[in-house]
Amino acid sequence: MTVTKAKPSTNKSLAKAVRVLKLFSAQEPRLPLAEISARLDMPKSTTHAILRSLVAEGLIEKIGGEAYALGTGILALSQSVRVNVEIRDRAAPHVRALADKAGESVYFTFLEGDRILYIYAVESSRRLIARTAVGDRMPMHCTGVGKAILAHLPEAEVRSILERMGMPRVTPNTITDLEELISELGEIRARGYSFDNGENETGNYCVGAPVFGADGRVIGGCSISGTDPEIIASRAPEIARMLIAACLDMSRNLGYVPPSFSQLHSAVFP
């Protein structure tokens, strides 16, 4: 079964809701409906409808009369940001050391909903496209690190993610068939690492591996990426060995305790 999905258009209601949230500050923690409406140049009825939705989600609280303030739901979101920063800071030394050893770009990503969020990267000077990936959110079906993460999620969860997100073709090598990808995920799980054969960016190759949290669940992943196809050919055993070692160190630093060296790790570390 081939899963495709059109790119979503900008959600105007969501954009308006974000504008409302950004109005509040330490200097102005409370704002009346009329003031919010005037500052955003929106009708009171539209402003009230947006505020009502934000109140229902706990992101805004009504403080007597027609005054509003940020709600406790914001605290949960800020906690998630703090966790991401802590994970990034713990992973960063391992990413830098891995980049030095491999001589290629190294990316660390966090599983965020149905996508991966790039939260730390060391770019190789040999990379053709001079840009940073940090802050990018990417689908998982077309990236090496994304496939490494998917391979360690329950199959039912994988299917749900891919059905929601779709599997759009990014390059001629992108896998767009769900059953084909499910089969590949089994191979990835068995050997412990994944390949990206130019599936997200033509002429770019990478090896990816998972990172686990203290509860044993996959929380993200790391990848070694470059323009040399030998990364997934003759150099693959060497690249995979150093990548998996670094990912295990990152996982342990996050509180993960491996139950034992499985057959896959014995194969990678003979």
pLDDT higher than threshold 80 for residue 7: no
- The mean pLDDT value for 78-106 works out to 80
From the list 172, 117, 169, 167, the residue with the least C-alpha distance to 145 is 117
Q: What percent of the chain has pLDDT over 70?
A: 85
What pLDDT is stored for residue 1 in this prediction? 52
Single-letter residue type at 123: E
Q: How many whole angstroms separate alpha carbon 117 and alpha carbon 112?
A: 6
From the list 86, 87, 80, the residue with the least C-alpha distance to 250 is 87
What pLDDT is stored for residue 28 in this prediction? 86
The pLDDT tens digits for 170-225 are 999 999 999 999 999 999 999 999 999 999 999 999 999 999 998 999 999 999 99
Q: How confident is the model at residue 31 (pLDDT cuts 50, 70, 90)?
A: very high
What pLDDT is stored for residue 40 in this prediction? 92
Largest CA distance in the chain: 70
Q: For the whole model, what pTM was predicted?
A: 0.68
- The mean pLDDT value for 74-81 works out to 61
- The mean pLDDT value for 117-144 works out to 78
Per 3-state DSSP, the chain is made up of helix, strand and coil in percentages (nearest 5) of: 45, 20, 35
- The DSSP symbol for 7 reads P
The pairing of beta strand 218-226 with beta strand 205-212: antiparallel
* Helices marked H in the chain: 12-23, 33-40, 44-56, 73-102, 144-150, 155-165, 178-191, 236-253, 263-268
Query: Where is 205: in which H helix or E strand?
Result: strand 205-212
Look at residue 213 and give its three-state secondary structure.
coil
Query: Where is 209: in which H helix or E strand?
Result: strand 205-212
| Sign (positive or negative) of CA dihedral 36, 40, 42, 47 | negative
- The mean pLDDT value for 155-170 works out to 94
Mean model confidence pLDDT for the chain: 85
Q: How confident is the model at residue 126 (pLDDT cuts 50, 70, 90)?
A: low
Burial-class residue 101 by CB neighbours within 10 Å (0-12, 13-18, 19+): middle
- The mean pLDDT value for 240-264 works out to 82
What pLDDT is stored for residue 2 in this prediction? 52
Q: How many of the other CB atoms lie within 10 Å of CB of 164?
A: 11
Instruction: Decide: 141 and 147 in contact? Cβ < 8 Å.
Output: yes
What pLDDT is stored for residue 194 in this prediction? 97
Domains (ranges, CATH) in the chain? 12-71 (1.10.10.10), 77-268 (3.30.450.40)
- The mean pLDDT value for 105-115 works out to 91
Q: How confident is the model at residue 91 (pLDDT cuts 50, 70, 90)?
A: confident
- The DSSP symbol for 10 reads P
